[in-house]
Every structure is written in structure tokens, then in C-alpha cells.
Structure 1
Amino acid sequence: MSSVFDCRDDSQILAGMRHARQAIARGELVVLPTDTVYGIAADAFSPAAVQRLREAKGRGRDMPPPVLVSGQEMLAALVEEVPEAVQKLVDAFWPGGLTIVLPAQPSLVWDLGETKGTVAVRMPDRRIVLELLAETGPLAVSSANLTGRDAAIIASDAQDMLGDSVAVYLEEGYSETGVASTIVDATSLVSPVDDETPVVRVLREGAISREQLEGVLGDLLEAEAQPGDVAADETLGDEGPVEAE
């Protein structure tokens, strides 16, 4: 049976965090508040836990979850390289609602799904989550909802959808924005394809606007696709090309 802790109550927060850490260590799932929407979290380095996350949501290996980190040091440990342009994005928007896709560090032993050698990484702007990440290490985290349903903006909504597939629910009231993170693909800055010009591509617009990204990246931001373009006609699914919170 799931445990629910209201982290707005000082008498529950310590117990909630302890139970969440223990659940992650056992390979179980935790629902937690972030600055975008509520997320469902698993140990990123436990293939069984990540598979449990996918099953809880009703998703396949073709939609790998992003990974939340506690800071830039953890980011550097997970990716092959942090290009200068990506560092500028991190400086401007982390912690916050920007998920960045980069080539993963080849030496990592994990299985997030069919990632094609990449990882989608974000540093959330929520104290509870950052404290948990500092103790557990990177967490695979997707929006706390069933496939095809709206992302939960309060823990009780997530519990209605996910039930006992989640061991611990951390409640902290309604999400600040309820808007999922923006996802950008910066892989070509590290591993350019043929003679293509390296750019940062917006995979999904969300908490960070295209205008904000352009203010940091300038011409490195790929031009917005127009109706009729192949990129504009792609079907990315209800959560984009990766599961994201």
C-alpha cells in the first residue's frame, strides 16, 4: 500500500523524505513535486526500476524518461560533453523548466530505453527534489500520469491515476505553473551529422519560451518549422520525443 506525506507539514516532511529515499533504494517508485508538474521517479541506474516506471505509465522503451540532476557536477558526469552553448543555457535557465538532450557518457551502465546514446537532463527548481537528488543521485523522472492523461499538478491527481504502483507520494500542493518543461536537442553540438550545421533544436515548447532560448543562443537556435515542413509534421506524442515532466 502506498504512503502519502504532506511535505507542507513540518511534522511529515522528514518522514516523507526518509521513506522516499528508502523506496528509491529498493527500486520502487516515488511521486514528487517539481517546479513544472508532478513527476514519477525511479533510480536511473536500476533497469528494473526504470522498467517499473514505464509500466506504471503504460509506456514502452521507445519513450525513455529524462533524468533529473541536482546540479552541474551531476550533469557533467552523465553526458559526453557540455558545449559552450549548453553551458549558457544551464547558466540562464537552471534550475528551471528546461530539459536538454545530449550524448550520454559512453561509460555509464544503465538502461533508460531506446535513447540512441543520448540522455535528456534537467535540474528542477524545487528544494525537496534537489535535496532528494543530492542523496539518491540521478533519478529517471517522467510526468506523473497515465499515457494519454493530463500530467498531475497535485499529488492526489497522480495517486488517482497511478495508485499502488507508486510506493511513496510526496504532496506539496499545486504545481507552481502546471506547464511541462521545454525540451531542446543539443546533440549536434557534440556529434554533428555529416555536413549539417550544428544547431539546438526545440523538440517541445513548454516552460521556457522560444524567445527566451533565442535570447541566449542567437543563430544557434534552429529556425522555427513552418506548416508543411517535415519537422512541423512529425508526431512526437503527448509528451514529446522523450517522456518529460
Structure 2
Amino acid sequence: MSAVFDCRDADQVLTGMRHARQAIGRGELIVLPTDTVYGVGADAFSPAAVQRLLDAKGRGRQQPPPVLVANVAALTALVETVPEPVQRLVDEFWPGGLTIVLPSQPSLVWDLGETHGTVAVRMPDQRVALELLEETGPLAVSSANLTGEAAAVEIGDAERMLGDSIAVYLDHGPSGAGVASTIVDATSLVRPGGEDAKVRVLRDGAVSRSELARVLGDLLEEPA
């Protein structure tokens, strides 16, 4: 039986956060608010928990979940390196609706799916999410919906789609943006042969191409 906590209530938020931390520690799934849409989260370093997340959404391993972090230090621990243009993006858009794909740190022992040695990382601009991430560490988080359905912008949407596959639901009212994060691929800035490297937009979302171009200039790949 899932537990639902209203994090707008001072008493419920403390209880809800405790239950969410415990659920993550047991390898279970939670639904948490973010600044874009609601997300379903799991311990990023538990392969069984990540597989549970994929199963709950009806996704395969070829669609690995992004990882949410509480701060920029966590990004540097998860990726091989942070190129200067990516640092500019982080300075401008984090916390916020930009997910950045980079080669992952080779020493990490985890299994997010078929990532081809990369990881997609984002720092959300949402108080409850950031406080939880500070306590749990990085979480694998994907939009709280079944594959093919619209992303949940209210907790009831997530409950309807995911039901008892989720141990704890953290409610914080309607999502601020209601638009998924923009995803950019910056791996070519790191990997060999990157003299003509560009940052490629994989998914349009909360951060517009014009905003990205303002920061990256010619390093932003033109749309096909």
C-alpha cells in the first residue's frame, strides 16, 4: 500500500521525507516533485531499484533514466570531466530545467541501463527534491508516467498511472513548469576527435534553443 504525503504541510513534509529516505534505502520507488514534472525516483547505485523503475514505467534498458543531483559537486563526481562550455551551462541554468549528457566516471559501479558509458545529469530547482537529494545522494529519476502517457504534473496523475508500484508519493501541488527538461548531449566535447565538437539538443523542453545559443554560441549544433 502506497503512502502519500502533502509536503506543503510542515508536519507531513518531515514524515514524508523520512519515509521517502527509508524507501530509497530499501530499493523501493518514490514519486517526488521537481520544477518540471513529477518524477519517479530510485537509488541510482542499486541496479535492482533502477530495473524496478524501468519496469514500473514500462521502459526497456535501452532508455536509461537520468540522474538528479543536489549540487554541482555531485555532477563532478559522476562524470569523467566537466568541459568549460558545460560549466557555462551549469552556471547559467542550474538548478533548473536542463539535463546534460556526459561520459560517466569510469570508476563508478552502477547500472542505469544501456548508457554506452554516459550519464544524463540534472540539478532540479525544487526545494523538496533538493533536500531529499542532499540526504539520499544521486537518484535515478524519470518522469512519473507510463511510457507513452503524458508526464504527471499533479500527484494524482502519477498515482493513477503508477499505483502501488510506488512506495511513497511526495505531493507538492501542481508542477511549476509542467514541461520536461531540455536534454543536451555534450559527450563530443570530451571524447577523442572533438575538435569540431558541438553540443546537440536531444529533447526540447524547459530551456529554449535560443537560451542555449546565448551561452554556447557556435558550439550549439544547428537543428537537422
Match of 1:218 in 2: 217
Match of 2:207 in 1: 208
5 Å matches for 1:95-134?
A: 95-134=95-134
The letter of the residue matching 2:113 is: G
What displacement does 1:203 show? 0.5
SS in 2 for 1:50: helix
5 Å matches for 1:1-245?
A: 1-192=1-192, 194=193, 197-225=196-224
**Counterparts of 1:108 and 1:89, CA distance in 2:** 24
Match of 1:234 in 2: none
How many residues are treated as equivalent by the alignment? 224
**Counterparts of 1:10 and 1:74, CA distance in 2:** 28
**Structure 2: runs of 5+ lacking an equivalent:** none
**Counterparts of 2:11 and 2:81, CA distance in 1:** 42
- The ranges of structure 1 where at least 4 consecutive aligned residues each deviate by more than 6 angstroms after the TM superposition are none
**Once the two structures are superposed, what CA deviation does each residue of 1:144-174 show, in whole Å capped at 9, x if it has no partner?**
0001100000111100000000000000000
**Counterparts of 1:67 and 1:183, CA distance in 2:** 12
What displacement does 1:176 show? 0.8
**Counterparts of 2:11 and 2:74, CA distance in 1:** 31
**Once the two structures are superposed, what CA deviation does each residue of 1:174-195 show, in whole Å capped at 9, x if it has no partner?**
0011000000000000004x47
**Counterparts of 1:214 and 1:46, CA distance in 2:** 36
Evaluate the alpha carbon distance shift between residue 195 and residue 17 of structure 1 in structure 2; reply closer, same or farther with a 3 A threshold.
closer
**Counterparts of 2:106 and 2:72, CA distance in 1:** 18
**Counterparts of 2:195 and 2:161, CA distance in 1:** 43
What displacement does 1:26 show? 0.3
**Once the two structures are superposed, what CA deviation does each residue of 1:86-114 show, in whole Å capped at 9, x if it has no partner?**
00000000000000000000000000000
**Alignment root-mean-square deviation, CA:** 0.8
**Counterparts of 2:10 and 2:183, CA distance in 1:** 34
Evaluate the alpha carbon distance shift between residue 85 and residue 195 of structure 1 in structure 2; reply closer, same or farther with a 3 A threshold.
closer
**Counterparts of 2:135 and 2:2, CA distance in 1:** 22
The letter of the residue matching 2:169 is: Y
**Counterparts of 2:197 and 2:169, CA distance in 1:** 41
What displacement does 1:196 show? 6.3
**Structure 1: runs of 5+ lacking an equivalent:** 226-245
The letter of the residue matching 2:152 is: A
Q: Is the 8 A contact 2:188 2:194 kept in 1?
A: no
SS in 2 for 1:42: strand
**Counterparts of 2:61 and 2:12, CA distance in 1:** 35
**Counterparts of 1:35 and 1:109, CA distance in 2:** 29
TM-score normalised per structure 2: 0.99
**Once the two structures are superposed, what CA deviation does each residue of 1:9-65 show, in whole Å capped at 9, x if it has no partner?**
112110000000000000000000000000000000000000000000000000000
**Once the two structures are superposed, what CA deviation does each residue of 1:189-213 show, in whole Å capped at 9, x if it has no partner?**
0004x47611100011100000000
Evaluate the alpha carbon distance shift between residue 195 and residue 41 of structure 1 in structure 2; reply closer, same or farther with a 3 A threshold.
closer
SS in 2 for 1:95: coil
